[in-house]
Structure 1
Amino acid sequence: MSNPIGAVDATAHGDTQIRLTPTQLKVMRGVRMGQLNKQIAFDLGIAEKTVKAHMTALMRKLNVHNRTQVAVAAQSLLLS
C-alpha cells in the first residue's frame, strides 16, 4: 500500500514501521527540543488544542505513555 500524500514512514530500531504525518514530525521535533505545546503551536501556526491532538496520536502510534517517551522515541528515530 502506498503512503498518503505527505505521510512519512519512520523506522524505530530498524524493524517497526511507524507512519507519521509531516505535522506529527514537526510536533515530535518540538517535543524533542523541550518545547511546551504552546510554543510548538505558535511555531507551527496552529492551535494548542491541535498540538495536543497530534501528541495523542503520536503517543498511540509510538506506543508510549508520556511526553518524555515521545522525546526519547524522536531521538531513536534520529529526527533533527
Structure 2
Amino acid sequence: MLERMTKGESNKQIAYNLDIAETTVKAHVSAILRKLNVHNRVQAILCAGDIDFAAYLRR
C-alpha cells in the first residue's frame, strides 16, 4: 500500500486496483501513518524513504 501511496494514488484508486473496499485502504493508510508516527501521506513517503527495509527484515 505504501508503494501505491508513493505513486500518488488516492485511496479510491488503491482500492480499485487491489479490488478491496476504500474503507479498508483508509484503515491501512491510518495504520501506516500511526506506525511511522507521521500526520499525512507526504510525511509517510518521506519517512519510508529513510528506512532500510532490507536491514529491518533481517532481524
TM-score, normalised via structure 2 length: 0.77
Question: Is 1:45 the counterpart of 2:11 in the alignment?
Answer: no
| TM-aligned CA deviation for residue 71 of structure 1 | 1.5
Aligned identity (percent) is 49
Question: 1:67: which partner in 2?
Answer: 41
The number of aligned residues is 53
CA distance in 2, matches of 1:32, 1:74: 9
RMSD: 1.6
2-side partners of 1:34 and 1:68: how far apart? 9
Structure 1 ranges of 4+ moved more than 2 A: 73-79
5+ residue gaps, structure 1, are 1-26
Which protein is richer in helix relative to its size?
2
**Structure 2 gaps, min length 5:** 54-59
In the alignment, does 2:30 pair up with 1:56? yes
**1-side partners of 2:51 and 2:3: how far apart?**
11
Distance apart, 1:78 and its partner CA: 6.5
